[in-house]
Amino acid sequence: MTLKSLSEMISQGHGDAPADLVLRGGRVLDVVTGALLEGDVAICGERIVGIMDSYEGREVIDVTGKILVPGFIDTHLHIESSMVTPHEFDRCVGPCGVTTAICDPHEIANVIGVPGIEYFLSCASETVMDIRVNLSSCVPSSHMETAGAQIEAEDLKPLMGHPQGIGLAEFMNYPGVIFQDPGCMAKLELFRGQHIDGHCPQLLGKGLNAYISAGIRTEHEATTAEEAREKLQKGMRVLIREGSVSKDMVALQPLLTDLTSAYMCLCTDDRNPLDIGEHGHLDFMIRELIAMGCPATAVYRAASLSAAEAFGLKDRGQITPGKRADIVVIDDLATCRAELVLSGGVIFDDAAFAARSITPPVGRNSVKAPVVTAESFRTKANREDTDVIGILEGKIITEHLKEEIPIEDGDKRPDPDRDLVKIAVVERHGINGNIASGFVKGFGLKRGAIASTVCHDHHNIACVGVDYDDMALAANRLGEIEGGFVVVEGGKVLAELPLPVAGLMSTEPFEVVHEALVKLRAAAKTLDVALEEPFLQLAFLALPVIPALKITDRGMVDVVKFEIIS
């Protein structure tokens, strides 16, 4: 919806002309004072022009007995991890009350580079929801990864200034910041004075001071209240994260109070279609935080006004005159069930979705992996002492374990009785064809194999299994379906979900993806997988480095790197 003239807005706000739309009979939550304000809400085009009074409108919607709250802002996510395109994300998440999503197209950028970011910027101009794009800062995320692209500061410069752009995305290479890597410094200098998103798990002390001094403003990786408190005290905006894999809400909930909520926000980073369909999105977080004892005003403030302020979006976050008409009509603050959602004055409904332009997807035929055989997964070794990745369910950080695994015929075999499962990464961008293998504990797999091209952050093929033939079938099948997820047992594909858009997103509607994931989860359970979200957990297990942080006597950070390559 276009912005109306100032004359029209003033006239409608003063009641001299009927408002374009009036929401009548509800109460407005003031996220500053916590009061519930009586009166109509008058809307002119995409802006609110009147509250706390009576208005006439060309269109009137009766919301008697309901509460109106500002639209929710997801302050950090990767839409690719919803496994649908930005337009389908808009359709499935907008009705949950999310009117602004601040995304980092980091995943698709690591597969196809700048064209992936350009695709997201184009889509963001078409959706009902206001999608804001942070330009991806770490492609690849680490020199140890073989990604499909490399993006330097000079590549980002032409993308700056796009109306849907908002800043530089999460700066994951925090050692590169602290020790002033030239490539990192070039990007930080390019965005100096603009928004720069943070990503610095477990970083404290002087290392954190140095990182923040680079102009980095936000942090979504805090996993304990103590860590989050220090980051708040040092001026960062802390984003409480509750995704499908990374679940930090319970740990950080005690820190969210009326006092701190002005500097805390909510984010998902990320939720898959199963969780969205069964539990919701930010509305789920709001319900849970209130149920855990957080003041309702503090929670809604963090979900709206605080988020808007943290990212410099001064035109939203409150239901007040002059702000964007981003409004969620709910039955009750505690239950947070969205009954009507407006984004910029547009109601999320089938008519609004049908009226959108659609940018064609990019990144087709991106899986260029070599054909693998059972022999590809043998672990060449001359010692039984073995590095093992230990899963911490609900976290993307992992443990560095040591296990004795016997060598049989020059190979270390999976041992499902000890929950020691083989993990392999197959390069799929057509660059070098490398295959790395190792072991993981905590997956619970007893039979077969599971494979995926959703493999952070490089998005090569990740495969776990106890049978090499099944692992080969799973990995090769991904090449045939242009990427996605596959579950295999006994030489047979039990379930699969093609994700042909860069091997990350489906071209199908959200409902189709949800149904396929239900079948995938059920198939994984037949292999005795113990994890609640095995596919997303697998995606993070393939990270090539597990940082263990220590503060040295110089107050800096030592990064102890653990490679999964045997």
Predicted confidence (pLDDT) per residue in 95-139, tens digit: 999 999 999 999 999 999 999 999 999 999 999 999 999 999 989
- In this prediction, residue 563 has a pLDDT band, given cuts at 50, 70 and 90, of very low
Q: CA of 477: how far to CAs of 363, 424, 434, 471, 474, in Å?
A: 18, 15, 18, 10, 5
Arithmetic mean of pLDDT, 374-398: 86
* Distance in angstroms (rounded) separating the CA atoms of residues 407 and 480: 34
pLDDT given at position 398? 84
Please state whether beta strands 449-452 and 461-465 pair in parallel, antiparallel, or not at all (unpaired). Answer: antiparallel
Give pLDDT tens digits for 213-232: 999 999 999 999 999 999 99
- The 8-class DSSP code of residue 117 comes to H
- Mean predicted confidence (pLDDT) in 184-198: 96
Tokens found for residue 59: 């269109």
User: 420-473, pLDDT tens digit by residue?
Assistant: 999 999 999 999 999 999 999 999 999 999 999 999 889 999 999 999 999 999
Cα–Cα distance between 160 and 154 in angstroms, integer?
Answer: 11
pLDDT at 551 over 50: no
Instruction: Give the pairing type, strands 19-24 and 40-44.
Output: antiparallel
As to burial, measured by CB atoms within 10 angstroms (0-12 exposed, 13-18 middle, 19+ buried), residue 50 is buried
Q: Which range among 207-211, 377-381, 519-523, 544-548 shows the weakest confidence by mean pLDDT?
A: 544-548
- Segment 128-154 shows an average pLDDT of 92
Going by pLDDT thresholds of 50, 70 and 90, the confidence category of residue 544 is low
Q: From 323, 296, 321, 291, select the one nearest 309 (Cα to Cα).
A: 323
* pTM summary value: 0.92
Task: Measure the CA–CA gap between 444 and 504, rounded to whole angstroms.
Answer: 25
Q: How many CB atoms lie within 10 A of CB 302?
A: 32
Q: Are 302 and 70 in contact, with CB atoms under 8 Å apart?
A: no
Tokens in use for 355?
């009226």
Residues 6+ positions from 151 with CB-CB distance below 8 Å: 109, 113, 114, 136, 139
Determine the Cα–Cα distance for residues 129 and 236; give it in Å rounded to an integer: 26
